[in-house]
A and B are shown apart, each in its own frame.
Chain A
């Protein structure tokens, strides 16, 4: 059998392969040869073969059949064998392999070998990939070597101990005695690795930390650091004029841990930190690496304010450095400290803003985040200008975050409403397609609440989409505004700027274009259609045109549009007298948390994105808060708003009634026809119920209750259960008035927990005559699939004796037969 080819020869050969297939062939051939060689248990060439195997492994080919061979090499007495064997073990074996444990004995022997280089190999391998079991078995040996006077071994033992501690933290204690003298060494290798070991121990154990603080580790480290800085040129450890930067950095890091939350330690290191911060050479990366670590330490310990300012100024100088790595590191650090040392960081604001123009993407991102953190009431105008400019020119991956950030900052610090609206406009027009979906309802709310800016806003939005209606969020907001404030638009009422001349037809033109356009998303079309509909009450000349548009979409393929169009058509036809009231101007919306989910609340004929608050914990809500009351039914559970099937009258309210079920519709009360369930209504909750009574005549069987009785208003509930659907309960309410004056504009609303569904049918009338001479009846259908206990909160509004009355109540006395 000829001698296996040498490693370098194999490498040369494989590199001549011109294709992957050729290479694979060579590899396979060689592997076969190696395998047979292994089988022959050839000691002489095992080393060579394993080395070749390691090369092929690096190329990506399997080499697991060499694992055992590595063990044999490690066990060999030849240094060459051991060297390759241990290398192979580190490359091919890991803790998952069972073979791994077979190494333990070999390593143990080699840790006690007469040759330090063999011991070194063993320590290196153990410290690199020793499993927990191996570490447990061999910790004692490592500890022994930690106390040796041989610095070559001592330094390796220290790092090996670090690995042992990481793998088996309980063993930390046993290394404590050996640490006593570690820092007395002159050898930098030992010093460095000892500092690493001490760092590991202090980080992991508060007891260790306390111990080392007590035994004076801080002054010892300060001394060593001082010597490094003060001592003259030492060629052995010099890097660009700095003495052993690696050791300096590790000492600074250990000092950080010791000084954290500890006044005494922090004070003891104050001077040296100041010294390093001011005296370190900054022309090369090496010096800056030390400064960087110093800054991190200063910011993390209990340093005095002067030192902190010094640290931030160093970071500020870093920002001006030509080296982008330094700028990157500075921005990262500033981002960490901006909360705690806000004012100091503010001083570097202009430099940070300049970094927005950097070429590196990571730097730009950090600069953007930092910029947003620095915006406040004083600098908002200037900062926004920069950020808007950034938004124009930055990469697409930033635009969404930047837009969201600008909206947030604008909301917090807007100096004026006009500025706020302008800023929103600017974002919508420049980054319109990147704006997040949840921004649209927030913006609409903002615009609604800036009452005096309505004319200006709608004019600007109109102009914005005239040229280009492809950016969906922009078009949505614009459509909504035009729908709401179109009357202001055509009447040319703008105060803030030159009013434009727009005709009703022109406005409808643009909205229709949006409807037709291929670029418009379904949601956007919905906005546009609703806007057109709203204009039917605001425009005077073009109602017929609107009617036509609406009727066309009654047969749209898009179900959402079709539904709306059908409803609007119904408004025109059957409920035309209600149209003005239904489509009235939206009131000022109550301020809500921006984190709330947005939901489309389907109110009759008007589909609006309304903002529903996620239920905050009950303690946060006062029962008096009107808008939230109805939804705060059962202390923390989300509920669905009730969807009435026909408008009922209710008194006008000033504001904050958005979350009312009907979205604040001010309707003229007029008697509606007798309750006719399911007539011309979109399919609602209780499908399948026809108008025939399918109910048991066991009405007598379920007792009725008085749900409410106050101030002369009494509301009784009577119950019926459905034959066909056991989850359905039908409640008929009867409202009577025992006072001497009638109650008008009576509106009954109800809300139930989320597991229920509710349908309110039209009431018999909106007037309750006095002296109990008549009642209003109304039917409620409750779907209770989970057969939960029925609870309800009701809201009553009416006019009485010339004043508007309103009350909320909870109904808890439902008889079990009504829901079980």
Chain B
């Protein structure tokens, strides 16, 4: 996978994960163009399209959120749909019936979860349970580290 974008029906970016090195300017350009292309798709069209020399796999969820992945020629489009599906399940389990607002207000957590599921554009863990367990543990670690010696919370973020 080269990159994954999450954006709303209005074209607002909710998450961007890039697995290839590109300048900020290039990323902005790609994002703008791709968002436009995907938003223009009609509901009856399939989830795949060719864009530049990449294959784009996208899924529209919760009526307002688009999950969009750019994969390479030799990658399997259908399994990419499953990857998107799995990520949504993870978010769902973590946030408890996830909605777009959860992702907006807790974007850093969405990233943490993604980074336990994918690494360098590839799936690193195929067990839902293990991903969630790792996040849980890390969250706990974070909680613990927030307390200084006197036991007062310094209030994370």
Q: Are A47 and B81 in contact (CB under 8 A)?
A: no
Q: Are A80 and B46 in contact (CB under 8 A)?
A: no
Q: Are B46 and A246 in contact (CB under 8 A)?
A: no
Q: Are A189 and B119 in contact (CB under 8 A)?
A: no
The prevalent SS among residues of B at the interface is mixed
- Tell me if A535 is interfacial: C-beta within 8 Å of chain B: no
The residue of chain B having its C-beta at the shortest distance from the C-beta of A363 within the complex is B46
Q: Are B76 and A293 in contact (CB under 8 A)?
A: yes
Say yes or no: A159-B120 contact (C-beta < 8 A), given A94-B21, A253-B76.
yes
Bound: A6/B156 CA distance, A: 9
Q: Which residues of B contact A123 (CB under 8 A)?
A: 119
Q: Which residues of A contact B47 (CB under 8 A)?
A: 325
Interface members, chain B 122-157 (any A CB < 8 Å)? 122-130, 134, 137-138, 141-142, 144-146, 154-157
Q: Are A127 and B157 in contact (CB under 8 A)?
A: no
Q: Which residues of A contact B104 (CB under 8 A)?
A: 11, 15
Q: Are B156 and A362 in contact (CB under 8 A)?
A: no
Q: Which residues of B contact A239 (CB under 8 A)?
A: 82, 86
15 contacts between A and B (CB under 8 A): A7-B157, A12-B105, A51-B108, A60-B28, A83-B142, A96-B21, A115-B141, A120-B134, A237-B127, A246-B123, A296-B76, A325-B77, A327-B46, A328-B46, A362-B49
Q: Which residues of A contact B19 (CB under 8 A)?
A: 128
Given contacts A80-B142, A117-B141, A362-B48, 7 further A-B contacts (CB under 8 A): A80-B157, A83-B112, A117-B134, A117-B137, A239-B86, A324-B46, A329-B77
- Tell me if A285 is interfacial: C-beta within 8 Å of chain B: yes
Complex partner residue of B120 from A162, A244, A326, CB under 8 angstroms: A162
Residues of B within 8 A of A (CB): 12-16, 18-19, 21-23, 28, 44-50, 74, 76-79, 81-83, 86, 104-105, 107-108, 111-112, 115-116, 119-120, 122-130, 134, 137-138, 141-142, 144-146, 154-157
Residues of chain A at interface, number, CB under 8 A: 73
- Tell me if A533 is interfacial: C-beta within 8 Å of chain B: no
Q: How many Å from the CB of A374 to the closest CB on chain B?
A: 22
Complex partner residue of A58 from B79, B107, B142, CB under 8 angstroms: B107
Q: How many Å from the CB of A183 to the closest CB on chain B?
A: 15
Q: How many Å from the CB of B8 to the closest CB on chain A?
A: 12
The residue of chain A having its C-beta at the shortest distance from the C-beta of B154 within the complex is A44
- Tell me if A188 is interfacial: C-beta within 8 Å of chain B: yes
Residues of A within 8 A of B (CB): 6-8, 11-12, 15, 44, 47-48, 51, 54-55, 58-60, 78-80, 83-84, 87, 91, 94-96, 115, 117, 120, 123-124, 127-129, 131, 152, 155-156, 159-160, 162-163, 188-189, 192-193, 196, 236-237, 239, 244-247, 249, 253, 285-286, 288-289, 292-293, 296, 324-329, 359-363
Say yes or no: A11-B119 contact (C-beta < 8 A), given A94-B22, A246-B82, A362-B49.
no
Q: Which residues of B contact A361 (CB under 8 A)?
A: 45
Q: Are B126 and A58 in contact (CB under 8 A)?
A: no
Q: How many Å from the CB of B45 to the closest CB on chain A?
A: 5
> Which of B12, B81, B82, B122 lies at the interface centre, i.e. has the most chain A CB atoms within 10 A of its CB?
B122
Complex partner residue of A193 from B12, B48, B122, CB under 8 angstroms: B122
Q: Are A236 and B128 in contact (CB under 8 A)?
A: yes
The residue of chain B having its C-beta at the shortest distance from the C-beta of A48 within the complex is B157
Q: Which residues of B contact A117 (CB under 8 A)?
A: 134, 137-138, 141
Q: Are B82 and A289 in contact (CB under 8 A)?
A: yes
The residue of chain A having its C-beta at the shortest distance from the C-beta of B119 within the complex is A159
Complex partner residue of A87 from B112, B119, B144, CB under 8 angstroms: B112
Say yes or no: A80-B82 contact (C-beta < 8 A), given A8-B105, A123-B119, A162-B122.
no
Q: Which residues of B contact A54 (CB under 8 A)?
A: 107-108
Q: Which residues of A contact B127 (CB under 8 A)?
A: 188-189, 236-237
> Which of B78, B142, B155, B157 lies at the interface centre, i.e. has the most chain A CB atoms within 10 A of its CB?
B78
Q: Are B81 and A325 in contact (CB under 8 A)?
A: yes
Bound: A595/B45 CA distance, A: 36
The residue of chain B having its C-beta at the shortest distance from the C-beta of A126 within the complex is B120
Q: How many Å from the CB of A418 to the closest CB on chain B?
A: 40
Say yes or no: A247-B141 contact (C-beta < 8 A), given A47-B156, A87-B108, A152-B134.
no
Say yes or no: A325-B123 contact (C-beta < 8 A), given A78-B145, A96-B23.
no
Say yes or no: A160-B46 contact (C-beta < 8 A), given A285-B82, A325-B77.
no
Q: Which residues of A contact B74 (CB under 8 A)?
A: 253
> Which of B116, B120, B127 lies at the interface centre, i.e. has the most chain A CB atoms within 10 A of its CB?
B120
